[in-house]
Structure 1
């Protein structure tokens, strides 16, 4: 039976850090202030970027965590990207770093000099729990003044968030009270996947699908090897699916089944086989889950976070413990 393999890289991003100013309930990578303040080193950046370029990827986006929290580290990464001939499509930011216009303009001009012309500015009720919307307004104004393009993510929520006091943060309970519960509960249909912290949040709000139905529909999972939107993090983990890692040196060849047993199991047989493997180690399944992805995350969280298995593929371990 064929083993999984990442043959080429097309479109992806780099996670420079998991440390973040926020602990958003929808975060796909489970970033938060409780992560170590590690940042991608220049040496690791050079290794990753050259590997990406050699496998066919010549443009990337930069994300976190919040990449702007270590501006010197971000500058070093961008210098390495420039030297490797990798174009930066955009940098993701939640605007928490904004202090004043002069500081913002200085940082934006520095980014522009290093080849960055677009800033993705996160805007959603989840971010607004931690960041006053005024900071988003201020960063967008600074971008306009600097001539930096803005990629508002997601722009549809701009008017909604603006209805509340922009100088304050607002809980999701406040959004429920103002817009009704469906406002938050409809978001997964539009843009939120049940990965990272999102599954933990939404499993208390949405109807669960019976386990038997999920297993009936779930076949072999090849999603982690579809390289249209991958990430590589500061520790050198290739992440086609967050929390299911491949070492850089193992890209471009079939994965060793002994080194990547869970990845191989998912690829060949699907989440049902992973469930059986976890049950053999003591996992007790729930009656229902949000989706097959939710089930998969819970199984991997059990194996890594609860059993504490040392595994090359269940990485980074913080993904399973920082929820």
Structure 2
């Protein structure tokens, strides 16, 4: 498994379960502050430009036609760059019910800015361990979108599609946003810079070798000593370097990778519950259940009941 194969694991399990989308028609001056969200967030500038700003960072200009993605919903300010306090988003949109939409109008003077925004809720259990090492925000400009014609066409089609109220429209909109999300992530992965934690981890010879087996051979009975041997490093040096570059220890990272695979089996197959522990690297069902509860805060059976394939009792065996 090479670096790109490891990064591809970020995309495989991502599937949206619900979307709240909104059209913003605003006139200056305006500034809005959103909190951390438990989903991805998208801003697509339809007319004019605006700024997005994360705490402690310089504002990022979002020009007309640009797309901004916050992969895991990091709190940010959105506005026209004017001075003054920001209004809390919850005060402008107090309710954002999943599967619904809204039109927000602010101000009646000044230059008109129009945005399409969305909260993209995906199954957190399918989030790859390296996912959180992506940048908290990335902006795709015209050259990026031109390099992904399918992404550009889907974005352009989404604008009128979100206004339709026909049978099946909510599902079409959900899957169109999912297409935008995954294609945008693909561009982001392709454009990883030397400052990216994911790229730094993959560029380290020892950590990269360990990540390759964690992602590709997670069923094997890996221990910290064995992973350190595969990395060609001492146990202590490997553990510290891995944590510094990846953001968590190798044992927890391996557990997350195994739980990611378990979620896919529980959600998209009817593999018997009794067979899943061995398939994801556990010799006992007790160890598997403890790990699953630690990562997902749920039991495998209950998780399948809520998220699994339609199939009633057969899916729960």
With normalisation by structure 1, the TM-score equals 0.25
With normalisation by structure 2, the TM-score equals 0.26
Query: Per residue, is there more strand in 1 or in 2?
Result: 2
> Which is greater in Rg?
2
